[in-house]
Amino acid sequence: MHTKIDLLVIGAGSAGRYAARAAASLGKSVVLVDKGPFGGLCILKGCMPSKALLRPAHVFHLMKHRLGELGLSIEGTPRIDIPAIVRMKNAMIREMAEDARKSVEQTRGISLLSGRFSFTGPQSGVLDDTPLHFDKAVIATGSRIHLPSIPGLDPEWILTSDDVLELEDIPSSTLVLGGGPVGLELGQYLSCLGSDVTLADTNPNWHPQTDPLLAREYLGALESRGLAMRLGIRAERFDREEGGKPCFHFQVDGKKHAIPFDKVLLATGRRPDTAGLNLPAAQVHTTRHGHIQVDAFLRTSNHSIFAAGDVTGILPVLNLATFHGEMAGRNAILPIPVTVREPVVPIAIFTDPEYARAGLTESQAQARRIPVRTGRIPFSDVGKAIVYRETDGALKIVIHAKSREILGVEMFGHGASDLVHTLATAMHFHATIDQYQEILHIHPTFSEIFKYLADDMTDAI
Ligand SMILES: Cc1cc2nc3c(=O)[nH]c(=O)nc-3n(C[C@H](O)[C@H](O)[C@H](O)COP(=O)(O)OP(=O)(O)OC[C@H]3O[C@@H](n4cnc5c(N)ncnc54)[C@H](O)[C@@H]3O)c2cc1C
């Protein structure tokens, strides 16, 4: 079989597929291996299925609770067919995975093989039992679910994100541990479908780097739509109430609390999937959390082997996985690798309302000793938000105090995941707030929020 492998890519998720394509486009022979099922986290159990479920859940919530705001009513009670939603989601996912597979198979220079890969040396390994030798390799094996160990936690009570995506019977009450994107999105999904959801997180300020006021307002908007929050908790134990429900015991500021629940969604983060790779044989080092250590070229401690995506632990989001995948694929092939520049990485949480940010928050800028000015505007100042009855939201911009370059944006509100690109684009081109202020915006749009704030910050009328 393949006698000469210029580049072996381990893992055909998003990072791996981009790495393989980049190297193939440079004329190299690439072998892309995956243990299956083919598709990667984003398509199979991540971005795509979660959003496919959130969309009907949000519409259902709007029909049940917000039609009156729009002067609408329907006869009877709106109903939701959860098995139908899950079926539709599965059909979409199957098609997306199939399209991704075809696209790889049709790319000249890439051979797709299935099997679990394990290193046997610095430039060799086995795919199941078949030996492979490679010149260069990219590790893109992603992440796996990690369950925290808390005393008394019965496996029967546990839901993982994978489980929630397949649930047809919604628990009457759910405890969500972890206030990251997965906990918030899937917590709100269950809440929209009628579960009584409480989300608990150890951090008292939700996320240490976010703006405290904006975070409070965002979480408040989620609470007003039915998601209860307990922040700053210290987990103690689980037990079962006498003859009754499971119960979670925790402390906040030294005071003891208990929440009874039917199911607990563990959304406390994932771990790098390096099990079985036999990294020591390849002399590839990991961090103390088990992520693969990479340098500014995305090179591991073995300079013939690169890594990209969730397995590096840099930031577990799709856009960075594909960006780094492409860079790792190229760098593995180029005679002299190029330094991977730090891109503007917009990120979002697809709750209703949405949260999004790009660039630096004020506290991140302060930590880097960058002198900044900030500006803030609520969605309720924007005509389109008023007429659409979507005034829950706010925007904060961070600019350099002297150069006036836009350094960061943080926001929540209707359509934030799309809106954020306006300023991400400006930041990519190092625009100042004064240059941004000159851009005409369509009226009425949600995007005008940036223009209004730029007007304020440049003292324009
Ligand atoms: C519920 C959920 C929702 C999410 N939503 C979003 C979102 O909205 N936006 C966003 O940006 N990100 C989101 N993410 C994160 C995003 O999905 C990941 O950051 C991204 O998919 C990671 O891609 P990857 O290529 O690094 O890894 P993966 O896509 O996980 O690919 C790794 C591949 O490696 C293969 N593999 C592993 N070990 C081996 C081995 N030894 N041999 C051969 N093959 C192997 C696996 O089978 C897999 O196909 C979400 C994640 C979750 C869990």
Per residue in 392-426, pLDDT tens? 999 999 999 999 999 999 999 999 999 999 999 99
Q: What is the mean pLDDT of residues 329-356?
A: 96
Q: Is the CB of 40 under 6 A from ligand 1?
A: yes
Triad 119, 123, 124: Cα angle to 5°: 45
Q: Tokens representing 41?
A: 């986290």
pLDDT band per the 50, 70, 90 thresholds, residue 122: very high
Ligand 1 atom at minimum distance from 277 CA: 41
Q: Which amino acid is at 312?
A: T
Distance of alpha carbon 260 from alpha carbon 245, whole angstroms: 6
Triad 227, 228, 232: Cα angle to 5°? 130
Say if residue 3's pLDDT is above 60: no
Domain boundaries, the chain: 5-145+271-333, 155-268, 347-460
The per-residue pLDDT for range 149-162, each reduced to its tens digit, is 999 999 999 999 99
Within 8 A by CB and 6+ apart from 79, the residues are: none
Classify each residue of 141-168 as buried b or exposed e, where b means 16 or more C-beta atoms within 10 Å of its C-beta: bbbebeeeebeebeeebebbbeebbebe
CATH architecture of 155-268: 3-Layer(bba) Sandwich (3.50)
Nearest CA to ligand 1 atom 15: 317
Strands 5-10 and 30-34 come out as: parallel
Ligand 1: does its nearest atom lie under 6 Å from the Cβ of 12?
A: yes
Return the residue whose CA atom lies nearest to atom 3 of ligand 1.
46
CATH number of 5-145+271-333: 3.50.50.60
pLDDT of 268 reads 95
Centre of ligand 1 to C-alpha 275, Å, is 15
Say which CATH class 347-460 falls into: alpha beta
Is residue 1 pLDDT above 60, yes or no?
A: no
Is the pLDDT assigned to residue 218 strictly greater than 70?
yes
Taking only the tens place, the pLDDT of each residue in 51-107 is 999 999 999 999 999 999 999 999 988 999 999 999 999 999 999 999 999 999 999
CA 459 / ligand 1 centre spacing (Å): 45
Predicted confidence at residue 103, as pLDDT, reads 97
* CA 134/CA 3 separation, integer angstroms: 9
Pairing of strands 406-413, 354-359: antiparallel
pLDDT digits (tens, 9 = 90+) for 170-207: 999 999 999 999 999 999 999 999 999 999 999 998 98
- Answer yes or no: is pLDDT of 242 > 80: no
Please give the Cα distance from 339 to 114 (Å, whole number): 32
Closest ligand 1 atom to 39 CA: 49
Mutate to test the pocket of ligand 1, among 9, 17, 41 (most ligand atoms within 8 A of CB): 41
Render pLDDT for 127-149 as a digit per residue (tens, 0 to 9).
999 999 999 999 999 999 999 99
Would the CB of 46 count as within 6 Å of ligand 1? yes
pLDDT tens for each residue of 436-459: 999 999 999 999 999 999 999 997
Any idea which residue has 């660039």 for tokens? 359
pLDDT at 255 over 70: yes
Q: Which of 353, 150, 325 is nearest to 246 (CA)?
A: 150
Is residue 232 left, alpha or beta, with left meaning phi > 0 and alpha meaning psi from -120 to 50?
Answer: left
Q: What is the pLDDT of residue 244?
A: 87
33 token code pair? 């291996």
- Local confidence band at 460 (pLDDT 50, 70, 90 cut-offs): low
What is the chain's alpha carbon radius of gyration, rounded to the nearest angstrom?
Answer: 24
Amino acid in position 354? E
Ligand 1 atom closest to the CA of 270, numbered from 1: 53
Ligand 1 pocket member 267 (CB < 6 A) = no
CB-ligand 1 contact for 273 (6 Å cutoff): yes
Say how many Å lie between the CA of residue 17 and the centre of ligand 1: 11
Check residue 333 and give its pLDDT. 96
What sign results for the dihedral spanned by CA atoms 284, 287, 293, 295? negative
Kindly state the percentage of the chain with pLDDT values over 70.
Answer: 99
Query: Beta-carbon neighbour count of residue 460 at 10 Å?
Result: 11
Other CB atoms within 10 Å distance of the CB of residue 170: 18
Closest approach atom of ligand 1 to CA 318: 11
Do 155-268 and 5-145+271-333 fall under one CATH topology?
yes
Find out whether the beta carbon of 22 lies less than 6 Å from any atom of ligand 1: no
3 state SS for the chain: CCCCEEEEEECCCHHHHHHHHHHHHCCCCEEEEECCCCCHHHHHCCHHHHHHHHHHHHHHHHHHHCHHHHCCCCCCCCCCCHHHHHHHHHHHHHHHHHHHHHHHHCCCCEEEEECCEEEEECCEEEECCEEEEEEEEEECCCEEECCCCCCCCCHHHEECHHHHHHCCCCCCEEEEECCCHHHHHHHHHHHHCCCEEEEEECCCCCCCCCCHHHHHHHHHHHHHCCCEEEECEEEEEEEECCCCCEEEEEEECCEEEEEECCEEEECCCEEECCCCCCHHHHCCCECCCCCECCCCCCECCCCCEEECCHHHCCCCCHHHHHHHHHHHHHHHHCCCCCCCCCCCCCEEECCCCEEEEEECCHHHHHHCCCCEEEEEEEHHHCHHHHHCCCCCCEEEEEEECCCCEEEEEEEEECCHHHHHHHHHHHHHCCCEHHHHHCCCCCCCCCCHHHHHHHHHHCCCC
317 in contact with ligand 1, CB cutoff 6 A: yes
Q: Tell me the angle at which helices 47-65 and 181-192 cross, rounded to the nearest 10 degrees.
A: 40
Give the model confidence (pLDDT) of 14-44 as tens digits: 999 999 999 999 999 999 999 999 999 999 9
Q: Determine if ligand 1 sits within 6 Å of the CB of residue 140.
A: yes
Question: How many angstroms separate the alpha carbon of residue 42 from the centre of ligand 1?
Answer: 5
Q: Is 409 in the pocket of ligand 1 (CB under 6 A)?
A: no
User: Which atom of ligand 1 approaches the CA of 14 most closely?
Assistant: 25
Q: Is 42 in the pocket of ligand 1 (CB under 6 A)?
A: yes
Q: Which amino acid is at 378?
A: P
Nearest CA to ligand 1 atom 30: 142
d(CA 382, CA 338): 44
